[in-house]
Amino acid sequence: MLTSFKTDLKTWLHTGMIFFTMLFICGSFVVFASLSISSLKTERLSFEHSKELISDKERFEQILQEPLYSDGDVNSLLWRKLRIEEIINSLAPNNAFSLCVEYGFYILPLIMTVIGAMTVFLDMSSHVMRIRIAREGKWHYFISKQAMMLTLAVALTFVSIILYMVMSHIFFDKATAIAASEYINISDALHADPGEVILQALFLIVCLVIFLEIGFSLSYISKTPVVPVVFTGLLWFFNIIPTAYEPKNAIYNIATRLSDFYGPVPNEITANISLGSAVLIVSVMFIIPIITTVFFWQKKSAYK
What pLDDT, on the 0 to 100 scale, is given for residue 267? 47
- What does the alpha-carbon distance between residue 215 and residue 304 come to, in Å, rounded to a whole number? 19
Cβ neighbours for 82, distance < 8 A, ≥ 6 positions apart:
68
- What does the alpha-carbon distance between residue 219 and residue 232 come to, in Å, rounded to a whole number? 12
Band the pLDDT of 227: cuts 50, 70, 90: very high
18 burial level (CB within 10 Å; 0-12, 13-18, 19+)? middle
241 burial level (CB within 10 Å; 0-12, 13-18, 19+)? middle
pLDDT digits (tens, 9 = 90+) for 47-97: 888 888 787 788 888 888 888 787 777 788 888 888 888 888 878 877 777
Band the pLDDT of 303: cuts 50, 70, 90: very low
- What does the alpha-carbon distance between residue 120 and residue 230 come to, in Å, rounded to a whole number? 17
| Whether this model's pTM surpasses 0.85 | no
- What does the alpha-carbon distance between residue 245 and residue 231 come to, in Å, rounded to a whole number? 17
What pLDDT, on the 0 to 100 scale, is given for residue 215? 92
Domain ranges of the chain: 2-30+93-299
Query: Which bin fits 192, alpha (ψ -120 to 50), beta or left (φ > 0)?
Result: beta
Band the pLDDT of 217: cuts 50, 70, 90: very high
pLDDT digits (tens, 9 = 90+) for 162-175: 887 788 888 888 88
Judge whether residue 294 has pLDDT over 70: yes
Contact between residue 62 and residue 95 where contact means Cβ atoms under 8 Å apart: no
What pLDDT, on the 0 to 100 scale, is given for residue 302? 46
